[in-house]
Amino acid sequence: MSTRRDGRTAGRPDASGGGVMQMRRTNGGALRVGVVGSGGVGKSMISASLARILARRGRSVLAVDLDPNPGLAYSLGLAPNDDGLPAESTVRVEKGGLYGWAPAPEVDLTTAALTLSRVAPDGVRYLSPGKIDASGDAKGEVKRCLGTVRQMVDLLEAPWDVVADLEAGTTTPYEGYARFADTMVVVASGAWRSCVAARRLLALFPDMPAVVVATKSTPGASDASRWGLPVRHTIPFDPDVLEAERHGRAPIDVCPDGPALSAVAALADLLLETRPMTVSAPRAAAHR
Amino acid sequence: MKIVVTGKGGAGKTTISGALARLLARGGHRVVALDCDPSPGLGISLGLGPEATEAAPAVLNSLVALGHTHNDPDPDPEDLLTRFGVDGPDGVRLLVGGKVEQLAGACVCCGSHSTTRKLFSNLPHEGRVVLADLEAGLNDLIWASPKADDIVIALAEPSAKGFEIARRACELAETMGVGQRIVVANRANGADVETLSELTGLAAVAVPDDPAVAQADREGLAPIDVDPQSPALLAIASLAEQLGLVPALAAAQPERRG
Ligand SMILES: Nc1ncnc2c1ncn2[C@@H]1O[C@H](COP(=O)(O)OP(=O)(O)OP(=O)(O)O)[C@@H](O)[C@H]1O
Ligand SMILES: Nc1ncnc2c1ncn2[C@@H]1O[C@H](COP(=O)(O)OP(=O)(O)OP(=O)(O)O)[C@@H](O)[C@H]1O
Ligand SMILES: [Mg+2]
Ligand SMILES: [Mg+2]
């Protein structure tokens, strides 16, 4: 085990703002966060708001959409579309009779986050696997792009804060979609089902630092701690968030100073304070 | 009769599936409720309570524990229902597909994509209602592959993304040749119903936001056991009528079968 080649273990984060080039030189302490939880608890709202809050603090942020259903782009304030990755950026790999997808060898992983993403408000970069459309071709295009995006994030060498929004539930975390992360944000509302799902998710990653977030809490009502979850952080119910999402607007553009967004900002502080500063060997070697 | 309930994460699939199953059972139907979410929880909305819900055996995990592999022939679905089904209130029989519990556990990957997802297609539905509560998103709808004489219920919570996923689900169901497609605006106001109807070209059914439902879910109880006359439950009862499976008004009345 050694430090990453990109020097993530060295030094404090660059909070001075500025462009990608600058960030690339001083990338210590970049966040690698996977946001998981049962359906509709607010994963996309949190991922998107977190990404934009980090970007507003001058950090380079890659918001990775690991859900083939429409969601994250709306919460980011980015016009949603179904675009995945161009065919030439992906390559089919066979292994033991099975096949998967990976970034094509020509793809420069230090710049892939820039070249294959779209620019969202506040300069957040949005990397999407494409979306399942009404044709129902989930196994074709989306499989190709999702498989590649996963790998790309795994292999990424640039100093980006990575915030990835996973699909609802336990399936894709079980399948290893959050392997890239060094911290898991596990989200639960007060409902029994969401708490049991959170417990199952925590059991899937016994060795990964996790921050359990109770969402949509209302004064007086019991929240996730009632069902035995070690709640670390709470995001209150904010009717303005609901209203924003109802109209397809990013919550941070509608109620940036409201209770929910303030709580996401505090979550950003918490993640930056507690982020692991040592990580395992660079995985990019396998790509070459 | 087979019904699949689909929609965005948190749209209310499990809540509405549970209530619908109970109401159909009270209306005199034999109901099999399939929990197709690998993080199962339908038992709560059926009124089994937290302990029995967690204890309900999952088909896939049980089979794997018995040495079943994906190379073995598909087990007889009727036999699976007998062996692993659990009876709940009003006689609804719950069958849980698979459960993701730990990384080192059962081979849920191949299983949840074949064994359990085939259950919906393979379980005979003559003389009973088979109601499947799917995992969030469009992928599971594709796997469930409902047929012409099945019913697809697409739910949306009141958000632009929720509406869009419901729209895609309706279109997918149409592509699959599903005859009866129903779109439901859950936790919705009048404007939401209009938006969703316009987007899908179908007359959206409204289920109001109901604090009694949210409260029941926090307690681990079935909304129908807390207040069967609450606004959301009444709306789900009229949905049952609209499906043509329950005579008007019968649905909301407990203990009156037939
Ligand atoms: N703090 C909050 N206060 C009020 N409403 C909220 C809050 N967070 C999220 N919501 C509402 O919950 C809905 C679901 O949020 P979101 O789409 O972010 O959840 P998700 O976990 O990503 O869902 P999915 O499982 O479908 O991906 C949003 O449309 C929004 O209306
Ligand atoms: N009509 C309603 N009024 C108030 N709360 C509701 C209503 N319908 C659903 N809810 C609440 O919304 C949350 C999500 O509901 P539910 O678990 O049924 O959704 P789901 O679509 O099955 O989610 P998942 O995608 O995780 O399977 C629950 O906490 C539930 O109590
Ligand atoms: Mg989401
Ligand atoms: Mg559900």
Is any atom of ligand 2 closer than 6 Å to the C-beta of B195? no
CB contact residues (below 8 A), chain B span 94-133, against chain A: 100-103, 108-109, 112
Answer yes or no: is B252 within a domain.
no
Write out chain A residues lying below 8 Å of B110, CB-based. Answer: none
Is any atom of ligand 1 closer than 6 Å to the C-beta of A237? yes
Is any atom of ligand 2 closer than 6 Å to the C-beta of A237? no
- B218 at the A interface (CB within 8 A)? yes
The minimum-distance atom of ligand 1 relative to the CA of A240 is 4
Nearest 5 degrees, angle CA A196-CA B3-CA B197? 95
pLDDT for A287 equals 43
pLDDT for B188 equals 97
Which residues touch A192 (CB under 8 Å, ≥6 apart)? A227, B41, B44, B50, B217, B218, B219, B220
pLDDT at position A223 over 90: no
Is any atom of ligand 1 closer than 6 Å to the C-beta of A65? no
CA distance A177 to A198: 16
Answer yes or no: is B53 within a domain.
yes
Residue B125 tokens read as 């539905």
A81, A98, A171: best mutation site toward chain B, by most B Cβ within 10 Å? A171
The minimum-distance atom of ligand 1 relative to the CA of A75 is 18
Answer yes or no: is B50 within a domain.
yes
Q: For residue A196, what pLDDT band results from cuts at 50, 70 and 90?
A: very high
Write out chain B residues lying below 8 Å of A171, CB-based. Answer: 38, 100, 112, 135
CB contact under 8 A, A171 and B135: yes
Q: What is the 3-state secondary structure (H, E, C) of B194-225?
A: HHHHHHHCCCCEEECCCHHHHHHHHHCCCHHH
Strands B2-7 and B205-207, by their bridges, are unpaired
- One-letter amino acid at B205 equals V
Compute φ and ψ for A101, nearest 5 degrees: -130, 150
Is any atom of ligand 2 closer than 6 Å to the C-beta of B17? no
pLDDT at position A277 over 80: no
Answer yes or no: is B8 within a domain.
yes
The minimum-distance atom of ligand 1 relative to the CA of A187 is 21
CA distance B218 to A224: 9
ipTM for the complex shown = 0.92
CA distance A68 to A45: 16
Measure B45 CA to nearest chain A CA, in Å. Answer: 10
Residue A191 CA, ligand 2 centroid: distance in Å: 8
CB contact under 8 A, B161 and A133: no
Strands (DSSP E) contained in A150-272 are 161-166, 183-188, 210-217, 233-236
Which residues touch B215 (CB under 8 Å, ≥6 apart)? A221, B226
Q: What is the pLDDT of residues A51-75, one digit of tens each?
A: 999 999 999 999 999 999 999 999 9
pLDDT for A41 equals 97
How much is the mean pLDDT over chain A? 84
- One-letter amino acid at B4 equals V
CA distance B160 to A68: 16
Name which of A3-17, A26-40, A154-168 the model is least confident about: A3-17
Measure B89 CA to nearest chain A CA, in Å. Answer: 19
Answer yes or no: is B176 within a domain.
yes
Is any atom of ligand 1 closer than 6 Å to the C-beta of A71? yes
Residue B52's domain is classified under what CATH number? 3.40.50.300
Q: Are B141 and B152 in contact (CB under 8 A)?
A: yes
Of B37, B168, B217, the CB nearest to A169: B37
Write out chain B residues lying below 8 Å of A199, CB-based. Answer: none
Where chain B has pLDDT below 50, the residues are 104-106, 108-109, 249-252, 255-258
Task: Give the nearest chain B residue to A172 (CA atoms).
Answer: B109
Residue B13 CA, ligand 4 centroid: distance in Å: 5
Q: What is the pLDDT of residues A238-251, one digit of tens each?
A: 999 999 999 999 99
Closest CA to A87 of A107, A65, A73, A63: A107
Mutate to test the pocket of ligand 1, among A189, A238, A245 (most ligand atoms within 8 A of CB): A245
Nearest CA to ligand 2 atom 14: B10
Number of domains making up chain B: 1
Task: Give the nearest chain A residue to B45 (CA atoms).
Answer: A193
Answer yes or no: is B254 within a domain.
no
Tell the burial category of B54 from Cβ atoms under 10 Å away from its Cβ (0-12, 13-18, 19+).
Answer: middle
- B14 at the A interface (CB within 8 A)? yes
Write out chain B residues lying below 8 Å of A247, CB-based. Answer: 160
A65 beta partners = A165
Measure A232 CA to nearest chain B CA, in Å. Answer: 19
CB pairs under 8 A between A and B: 140
Global confidence as pTM: 0.91
- Overall average pLDDT of the A168-172 stretch: 91
Is any atom of ligand 1 closer than 6 Å to the C-beta of B214? no
CA distance B29 to B10: 27
CB contact under 8 A, A40 and B219: no
Residue A30 tokens read as 């970049």
- One-letter amino acid at A176 equals G
pLDDT for A174 equals 87
CA distance A16 to A171: 39
Answer yes or no: is B257 within a domain.
no
- A67 at the B interface (CB within 8 A)? yes
pLDDT for A139 equals 61
Closest CA to A288 of A130, A164, A135, A157: A157
- Residue B160's domain comprises 2-246
Euclidean distance between the first and final Cα of chain B, in Å? 17
Compute φ and ψ for A11, nearest 5 degrees: 75, 180
pLDDT at position A285 over 50: no
The minimum-distance atom of ligand 2 relative to the CA of B235 is 1
Answer yes or no: is B255 within a domain.
no
